[in-house]
Chain A
Amino acid sequence: MKKEWPLWEVFIRGQHGLNHRHVGSLHAPDAETAILNARDVYTRRNEGLSIWVVEARHISASAPGDKGPLFEPSESKVYRHPTFYDIPKDVGHM
C-alpha cells in the first residue's frame, strides 16, 4: 500500500476578480482536506477569495523536450500578431 498522500495543485483567486492562479502544491488524503490545507498553507496573509485544488496526476503537461516542434514554428510568423492594422482613432483604447 502506498502510504504517501497524493499531490494536489492549488489555484487561488485573489481579491480583485482575477482568474484563479497556480500558487503551489501540497499533499492531502482527499479533495476536502486539500482545500483546508490550501487555506492554511496559502491564504494565511489574506490572499484569497476562492480556492481550487486538482490532483496533480489529472494534469497533462507538454514534454519539455517537445519545445522545439511545439513552439519554435510560431517564432517566424510575426504576422499573427495583430500589429499590422491601422486602428481608427474613434475606436479609442483597445
Chain B
Amino acid sequence: MAQVDQKALLEFVLRQGDNTLVLGHRVSEWCGHAPVLEEDIALANTALDLIGQTQMWLGLAAEIEGEGRTADDMAFLRDAWDFRNLLLVELPNGDFGRTILRQFLFDAFSAIYLPLLTKSADPRVAEIAAKATKEVAYHLERSAQTVVGLGDGSEESHARMQEALDYLWPYVGEMFASDGVDQAMAEAGIGPDPAGLRAEYDALIGRVLSEATLRIPEDSFAHKGGRNGYMHTEHLGHLLTQMQWLQRAYPGCEW
C-alpha cells in the first residue's frame, strides 16, 4: 500500500462519519412523532443504524488524528465549521415525505459507494463498510418502496413528494463534487472517486423516481460546501446545539 496522506485520510473518514452522524440525528428527531407507530419504529431503527456506523467512522477518525480523542469527542465537541457532512443530510426534516425522500437520495448513494469501500486498501475502512453495507441495503429497500408508495399515491402525497424532490434536488450534486481528498483516496486505493459513480446513481434513482411518477428537475445547479467544510447551511448550527448541549453544559458528563 502506498504511503497514505494521513490528513486526507482523516478528512475522508470524517466525511463518512459526519454524514451518518448528522443524518442519524435528523432521523432520530422523528422518534415519537412519526405519522404511524410502524414508521416511528422503522425510523428509529434507521437512526440507530446510522449512529452505530458513526461510532465506527468517528472512532477511526480519532485514531487517525492521534490526539487521544474518542468518537464521542468528535461527535459532541467539534463545532459546525469542523463538520464534513453533505448539506443534504443537515437539511431540516420537513414533512414525512421529505424525510423519506432525503433518506432515499442518501441511501441510494451509500448503496453504491459502500460496497466499493469494502475493497478498500485500508482494512479498517473495509471492515466498517462491510458492516454498514447490509444495513444500507435494507434502508434503501425501505426508503425506495416508501418513495414509490407516496409518489404514486394520492394526489396530496404525490404533490408533497414532488415538492420534496424539487427542494432536495439541488443538494444531490454535492455527493459527486469530488476534490483533492477524493483523488488522494482513489490513488491510495482507499476508496473510489465519487465523481465516477454519478451515472450508476442516476440510473438507480431514475428507476425508482419514475416508478414513483416523480419528475426530476432539469436544473443541474448544486449547492456545495458541506463535505469540504467551506460553508454549511444555517441549519447545522441549530442541529448541533440540540445534539451537543448536554456535553457543552456538563463537560465530561457520563451516564
Chain A residues engaging chain B, CB cutoff 8 angstroms: 5, 26-30, 32-33, 36-37, 39-41, 44
- Whether the pair B36, A33 counts as a contact (CB closer than 8 A) is no
What chain B residues lie within 8 Å of A32 (beta carbons)?
A: 145
* Count of residues in B whose CB is under 8 Å from the partner chain: 12
What chain B residues lie within 8 Å of A33 (beta carbons)?
A: 145-146, 149
Distance in angstroms from A40 CB to nearest chain B CB is 4
Q: How many contacts between A and B, using CB within 8 angstroms?
A: 31
What chain A residues lie within 8 Å of B146 (beta carbons)?
A: 33
Q: A29-B149, A32-B145 are in contact. Are A5 and B36 (CB under 8 A)?
A: yes
> Cα distance A11–B38 when bound, in Å?
16
CB contacts under 8 Å to A, within B1-52, are 36-38, 41-42, 45
What chain A residues lie within 8 Å of B149 (beta carbons)?
A: 29-30, 33
**B141 part of interface (Cβ distance < 8 Å):** yes
- Whether the pair A36, B36 counts as a contact (CB closer than 8 A) is no
- Whether the pair B38, A26 counts as a contact (CB closer than 8 A) is yes
What chain A residues lie within 8 Å of B138 (beta carbons)?
A: 39
What chain A residues lie within 8 Å of B38 (beta carbons)?
A: 26-28, 37, 40-41
What chain A residues lie within 8 Å of B141 (beta carbons)?
A: 36
Distance in angstroms from A13 CB to nearest chain B CB is 19
Q: A29-B149, A33-B145 are in contact. Are A40 and B36 (CB under 8 A)?
A: no
With beta carbons under 8 angstroms apart, the residue of B36, B42, B142, B145 that contacts A27 is: B36
Q: A5-B36, A27-B36 are in contact. Are A37 and B145 (CB under 8 A)?
A: no
> Cα distance A26–B37 when bound, in Å?
9
